[in-house]
């Protein structure tokens, strides 16, 4: 008995009894992909810990975006594509210094897939980035030349978004550049601190936090949202 009132089978409906936040706000989950989680090619310590935070928050927001790092195998940001280069070394790209990474998030591979528990089905939009061989793309808004757009700004503006809440991986790279670009574009940006994890390469986390703070990004715990 009682089964005629069974809960909806769509898992993210479990969020509707929670507070729904203002209608002009987007939740953006950055690069919650296998290669950035423990066991992945560019694993971020405790990267998988962001999944339950994202899953709890994203359903409350009227606009939901997930981003996906999506590189061709010959991507120039891979150390393996530069003779003799070590992973995590720096090269000069046309737009400034570029870290050379271990091969990661190669298009169509398991490493590029989202974490298996991420509520990707709750997202309205999946935005891919880093798919051009000759330029990297940390930010969800622009490639690393800070000029070539991904299209996300237009998507958000045409949906009436003025505020965004960000979580994901990694705090000091893709989350940082997305937050800073969002703020510079005039959006009100909030970072969910416990919904992010960092790579922390040579002090990059401290630099990222200082830059986001200087750009007016708000820092919150997920429990305060």
Question: Which residues here bind Zn ion, judged by CB under 5 A?
Answer: 69, 130
**Site for ligand VGL (CB under 6 A): which residue of 25, 26, 28, 31?**
31
Q: Catalytic: which of 48, 129, 172, 196?
A: 129
CA distance 113 to 105: 8
Q: Catalytic: which of 35, 105, 172, 174?
A: 174
**Residue 74, CA distances (Å) to 97, 117, 131 in order:** 19, 29, 10
CA 28-49-139 angle, to 5 degrees, is 35
Residue 58 vs 60, nearer CB to ligand VGL = 58
Residue 43 vs 119, nearer CB to ligand VGL = 43
Beta strands in the chain (DSSP E): 25-30, 63-69, 90-93, 96-99, 125-129, 163-169, 188-197, 218-220
Q: Can 35 be counted among the known catalytic residues?
A: no
Residue window 112-141: x/- pattern of binding to ligand VGL, with contact defined by CB under 6 A: --------------------------x---
Residue 128 vs 184, nearer CB to ligand VGL = 128
**Residue 197, CA distances (Å) to 31, 109, 143, 167 in order:** 11, 23, 21, 9
Q: Can 105 be counted among the known catalytic residues?
A: no
Least distance to Zn ion, CB of residue 60, Å: 28
Least distance to ligand VGL, CB of residue 101, Å: 5
Which strands sit side by side in the sheet containing 188-197, from one edge to the other?
125-129, 63-69, 25-30, 163-169, 188-197, 218-220
Q: Can 163 be counted among the known catalytic residues?
A: no
Residue 29 sits in the site that holds ligand VGL (CB under 6 A): no
Least distance to Zn ion, CB of residue 199, Å: 11
């Amino acid at each position: 008995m009682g089964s005629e009132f069974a809960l909806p089978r769509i898992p993210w409906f479990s969020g509707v009894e929670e507070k729904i936040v203002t209608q002009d706000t987007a939740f953006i989950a950055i690069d919650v992909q296998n290669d950035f989680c423990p066991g992945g090619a560019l694993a971020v310590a405790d990267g998988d810990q962001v999944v339950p935070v994202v899953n709890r928050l994203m359903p409350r927001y009227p606009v939901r975006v997930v981003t996906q790092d999506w590189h061709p195998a010959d991507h120039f940001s891979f150390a393996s594509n530069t003779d003799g280069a070590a992973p995590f070394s720096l090269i000069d790209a046309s737009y400034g210094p570029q870290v050379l990474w271990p091969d990661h998030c190669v298009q169509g591979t398991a490493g590029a897939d989202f974490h298996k528990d991420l509520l990707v089905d709750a997202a309205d939009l999946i935005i891919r980035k880093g798919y051009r061989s000759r330029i990297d793309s940390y930010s969800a808004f622009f490639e690393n030349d800070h000029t070539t757009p991904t299209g996300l700004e237009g998507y958000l503006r045409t949906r009436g978004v003025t505020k965004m809440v960000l979580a994901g991986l990694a705090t000091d790279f893709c989350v940082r550049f997305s937050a800073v670009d969002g703020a510079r574009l005039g959006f009100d940006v909030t970072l969910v601190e416990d919904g992010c994890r960092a790579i922390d390469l040579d002090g990059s986390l401290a630099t990222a936090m200082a830059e986001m703070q200087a750009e007016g990004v708000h820092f919150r715990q997920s429990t305060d949202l």
